Amino acid sequence: MERFNTYVEDNAERFIEELAEFCRQPSISTQNVGLEEMAELVRARLERLGAEVRLIPVADGPPVVFAETSASGSAEDIRLSSVEALTAEASVEPLGQGERTLLIYNHYDVQPPDPLEEWESPPFEPTIREGKLYARGAADNKGNLMVRIQAIEAYRAAFGELPLRIKFVVEGEEEVGSPHLAQFAQENRDLLAANGCLWESGGKDEAERFVIYLGLKGIAYLELRAKGAKSDLHSSYATIVPNPAWRLVWALSTLKDEDDRITIDGFMDHVVEPSAAEMNILEAIPFEEEKIKENFGIPEFIRGLSGVEALKKHLYEPTCTICGFRSGYIEEGSKTVLPSTATAKLDFRLVPNLTPELVEQLLRQHLDRRGFQDIEIAFGVGERSARAPLDTPIAQAAVAAAEAVYGQQPVIYPTMAGSGPMYPLSEALTIPAVLAGIGYPGANVHAPNENIRLADYFEGIRYIGELIRRFGAAE
């Protein structure tokens, strides 16, 4: 890969500027700001690879940018540097004709930059300080997207033809729950066919170890709503008028016991114990629990769990979390009021076999059996979990590439504890997926002063080049 690395080094300044160009363009999906413009920027950059690119519309949302590098054609727009003599014939080669196809998923939308006063430099004016590039979207997810594009450019410049076909799916709704991705995937099953998928995120842990994830948990986000009188009342009426806040508290108390075990009827029956092979993966994870407790300011984990048992609960069990509760007067000072409404926001992190639809059904039945038919359930967003075995070719290539680039065995997680829209593009299409990226614990994703370390960025380009080489070497 010497020619590859030389090309990256010779084009480093341009590569950073290309990322900065992406980050200058606001693309905030929650506010519908700049999405069409960002989609056009992504389209133009992929076309400079010589890829065939389409903006595929989705109902009531920004387009999906779809690109594939499998077609023959020129790559005249690739700006060659000092290795031009080595790669002159690249401009007449097909972009990829290997036996395997790699599907790459990213998104071009970002979180709102608020609170603006906490940014040390403007969120959409990329700034380099102390070896880091600061901007909204630098880590989530424009940096990972550009790393992959530039790695393909460098591979073609160094070697001419890709050893596999590559398809890009870059959506503009990830930060609002990807409401149209599942329909898009089902309507374009044949177009998206691939042997493996590289997901959008990942990076290094607190000890600077490279981490590879083999999946994501699902999620069901909803609200429980209780109603009382038609308006708030003087609290003296609490003797005879029902209080919806108490009503909701009583309903919530039936969902979990004091040992943090989910008690929704039939819920845990759908949770499968991890296999011996899956437990072996857990046992190989360096779980620095004392540091985690110190960082979080807590004396112990739930139930006093530690070691592999704590990690097993964290990664292989579902959750039921009260994310917020609102009722009556909650501002400074006192106000003796009997509230007319109460609302609780809940999320469930889901493991295989627990779907968002099943969770809503089980919750409704559970509440009804206990006389809480009056508690309304308002469903928000839902995503299914997705997980790939470690022995899949894409996972094995990801591990081998990490060993080659980072010089050590990566830490392998069977799943993230968090969630994302992986299922429609992976398990639903029988495409195993892995997560590997350029993040690190100080990236401030979704927060002010979001950033990436430039050293990680260029390592990430090398990693993607090595992953392309190894996954393309089909046996």
Question: For the chain, what are the domain ranges?
Answer: 2-214+388-472, 217-271+317-383
Spatial CA neighbour of 415 closest among 423, 404, 403: 423
User: In this structure, which topology does domain 217-271+317-383 adopt according to CATH?
Assistant: Alpha-Beta Plaits (3.30.70)
User: In this structure, which topology does domain 2-214+388-472 adopt according to CATH?
Assistant: Aminopeptidase (3.40.630)
Burial letters 229-259, b for 16+ CB under 10 A, else e = eeebbebeeeeeeebbbebbeebbeebbeee
Please report, as a single letter, which amino acid is at residue 53: V
For residue 174, the tally of other CB atoms under 10 A from its CB is: 22
pTM above 0.75, yes or no: yes
Q: Per-residue confidence of the chain (475 residues) as pLDDT tens digits?
A: 899 999 999 999 999 999 999 999 999 999 999 999 999 999 999 999 989 999 999 988 999 999 998 644 444 444 333 333 333 333 334 466 778 999 999 999 999 999 999 999 999 999 999 999 999 999 999 999 999 999 999 999 999 889 999 999 999 999 998 999 999 999 999 999 999 999 999 999 989 999 999 999 999 999 999 999 999 999 999 999 999 999 999 999 999 999 999 999 999 999 999 999 889 999 999 998 998 999 899 999 999 999 999 999 999 999 999 999 999 999 999 999 999 999 999 999 999 999 999 999 999 999 999 999 999 999 998 999 999 999 999 999 999 999 999 999 999 999 999 999 999 999 999 999 999 999 999 999 999 999 999 999 999 999 999 999 999 986 5
Q: Output the six-digit token pair for 269.
A: 């029956």
Whether the CA torsion 12, 15, 21, 23 is positive or negative: it is: negative
Cα-Cα end-to-end distance for the chain: 20
